[in-house]
A and B are shown apart, each in its own frame.
Chain A
Amino acid sequence: MIEPANVVAQTASKDPEVGLRGVASLRALLEAVEELQVRRARELGWSWQQIAELLGVSKQAVHQKYGTGSRRGQRRFR
C-alpha cells in the first residue's frame, strides 16, 4: 500500500515552496521537542552544563533560551 505522505513527497518535493514549508515545520517541531526535553532534564535535576553538552551548544545559550527570567513561553495558549 502506498502511504499518502509518500505520494505527496514524490509529486511535490521539487517545488521550493513545498520544500521550504517542510523546513519551517521541521524547525518548529525541533524547537518544540527541544523545549520538552530541556524542561524535563531540568525537572530531573540536570545542570545547564550537562544539557548544553548533549545539545552541542554553550550553557549560556541554553540557559538564556530556557532559564528562569526568560519571559518567552510564559504566555502560551494551547
Chain B
Amino acid sequence: MRLLRRQRAAPRAKTGRPAERYLIAGADEARRLGHGSIGTEHVLLALTRDPAGPAATILRELGVTHGDIAASPCLAGTPSRRIDADALATLGIDLENVRERLEETFGPGALEQTRAGCLGVMPRLKIALAYAVDFAAEGPVREEHMLLALLSVPDSLAAHILAERGVTLAKVESLVGER
C-alpha cells in the first residue's frame, strides 16, 4: 500500500520560467472575475488589456478589441473559486473578515497560499505556455508568441473566442510575419 501511495516530486525546471509573466497576468484576470482557475481565456484578456500592446494591436487590425473578448459568453463557463465569498455570505460568514484575521496570524495572502485557496492552472493553458516558449525559440517570450501559442492549442477557450470573431492562427501568423 505504501508503495502505491508514494508519489515522486515533480521535476524542477532547469531554466527560469520564461512565460511566467503571462501566467501571473492571467491570474490577475481570473481573480478579478472570481474564477477558480487560470485558463487561456484569462491570458487572452490580459494580453489585450493594454490597447497599445503588440497583441492588442494585432487583434485590433483583425477587428477584435479587449471589450469584445471581455463580453464573450465563453468567459461565463469558467468555474468559480472554491472559496466563494458570495456563497459564504449566504451562511452569514464575511470572507473579508475571516481573511483579515488569518492574515494577522499568517501574513498577507495567507489564504491564497493554501491548496483550497489557490488558483488552478487549466491544462490547455499549460500547453499554450509551453508553445509560447517554443515560438520564442531562445529569445524572450513576447506577446506575439503568447498570442500565437493561444491560437495553436486546439479547443482552447482563447482560440474559440477569437475564432468566433474570425481570427485564425494563419491570419495572426501573417501579421506577425510582417513585423
Contact A5 B9, beta carbon cutoff 8 Å: no
CA distance A41 to B113 in the complex (A): 16
Q: Which of B9, B82, B94 has the most CB atoms of chain A within a 10 A radius of its CB?
A: B82
Contact A31/B89 with A40-B106, A71-B10, A77-B121 known, Cβ cut-off 8 Å: no
Across the interface, name the chain A residue whose C-beta is closest to B107: A36
Which residues of chain B are within 8 angstroms of A74 by Cβ–Cβ distance?
9-10
Contact of B114 among A6, A13, A32 (CB under 8 A): A32
Whether, in the assembled complex, A54 has its beta carbon less than 8 Å from a beta carbon of chain B, the answer is no
CA distance A47 to B127 in the complex (A): 41
CA distance A24 to B38 in the complex (A): 20
CA distance A75 to B100 in the complex (A): 25
CA distance A35 to B112 in the complex (A): 11
Whether, in the assembled complex, B3 has its beta carbon less than 8 Å from a beta carbon of chain A, the answer is no
Question: Restricting to B24-66, which residues have a CB under 8 Å from any CB of A?
Answer: 27, 38
Across the interface, name the chain B residue whose C-beta is closest to A36: B106
Across the interface, name the chain A residue whose C-beta is closest to B111: A32
Which residues of chain B are within 8 angstroms of A29 by Cβ–Cβ distance?
83, 88, 93, 95, 98, 116
Q: Whole-angstrom distance from the CB of B36 to the nearest CB of chain A?
A: 9
Interface size in chain B (residues, C-beta < 8 A): 38
- Chain A 6-23 interface 0/1 with B at a Cβ cutoff of 8 Å (1 = within): 101100110000110110
Contact B116 A35, beta carbon cutoff 8 Å: yes
Interface size in chain A (residues, C-beta < 8 A): 31
Contact A72/B84 with A5-B92, A9-B89, A77-B27 known, Cβ cut-off 8 Å: no
Contact B6 A69, beta carbon cutoff 8 Å: yes
Q: Whole-angstrom distance from the CB of B76 to the nearest CB of chain A?
A: 16
Which residues of chain A are within 8 angstroms of B112 by Cβ–Cβ distance?
78
Across the interface, name the chain B residue whose C-beta is closest to A11: B90
Q: Whole-angstrom distance from the CB of B168 to the nearest CB of chain A?
A: 30
Question: Restricting to A27-77, which residues have a CB under 8 Å from any CB of B?
Answer: 28-29, 31-33, 35-36, 40, 69, 71-77
Contact of B110 among A13, A21, A36 (CB under 8 A): A36
Contact B89 A4, beta carbon cutoff 8 Å: yes
Contact of A25 among B10, B27, B82 (CB under 8 A): B82
Contact A78/B88 with A5-B94, A28-B117, A40-B105 known, Cβ cut-off 8 Å: no
Q: Whole-angstrom distance from the CB of B160 to the nearest CB of chain A?
A: 23
6 A-B pairs (CB sep. < 8 Å): A8-B90, A19-B90, A22-B88, A25-B88, A32-B115, A36-B110
